[in-house]
Amino acid sequence: MKLVIFGPPSAGKGTQAQKLSKKYGIPQVATGDLLREHVAKKTQIGIKVKSYLDSGRLGPDELIVQMIGERVSRPDCINGYLLDGFPRTIGQAQELEKMTDVDLVLNIVVDFEALAERAVGRRSCPKCAAVYHIEFNTPKVQGICDKCGSKLIQRDDDKEETVRNRFRVFKEQTAPLIEYYRKKGKILDIDGSGGIDAVFGRLVAAIETIRT
């Protein structure tokens, strides 16, 4: 079973991808993690892509496609995988088609105001990386990390203006891809509102439609 998951920043896509990976026994292939792994190991791809990452870019399609192709050819992907953060362009989607047939694209849809509320209320521990929320997941002592006692901070990534810009960029970049997969009849929109378990239930229900 070969899946792709889309979702705007702060929509909980990474968390859902991890849960789906565990439930179905297929690896989560996350582009960001793979890029960091290649850079850390100083592979040929890592050396080439480092200069792009250092300047805040992802790197050219051919490098990203090469990296994904190498990853999905490993033995743990023989029964399928979940692509997270790939494809990002029509060109990448077309190259992916040359490698394999995608069974289903899961598109998590979240209202911007709900997304902003989720992101802007997030507080992070700079020491142990624990994450809290001022409404949905409060620490025992306001502003203090339960795990290590450090003072919690609001990351720049979680400030409203940043969230708004990232959401706009995501919509601009992903809209053509969503249309591309919609024409192929391979995409399902998933309501991303509510708690983690509610969204997970909707994702599982969508996946089960292609397993029966």
The residues that are catalytic are 13, 88, 122, 155, 166
Q: Is 148 helix (H, G, I), strand (E, B) or coil?
A: coil
The string of DSSP codes covering 157-204 is GGSHHHHHHHHHHHHHHHHHHHHHHHHTT-EEEEE--S-HHHHHHHHH
CB atoms within 10 A of CB 135: 9
Q: Dihedrals φ, ψ of 104, to 5°? A: -160, 140
Answer yes or no: are the C-beta atoms of 73 and 66 closer than 8 Å.
Answer: no
Answer yes or no: are the C-beta atoms of 61 and 93 closer than 8 Å.
Answer: no
At residue 25, what is the residue type?
Answer: G
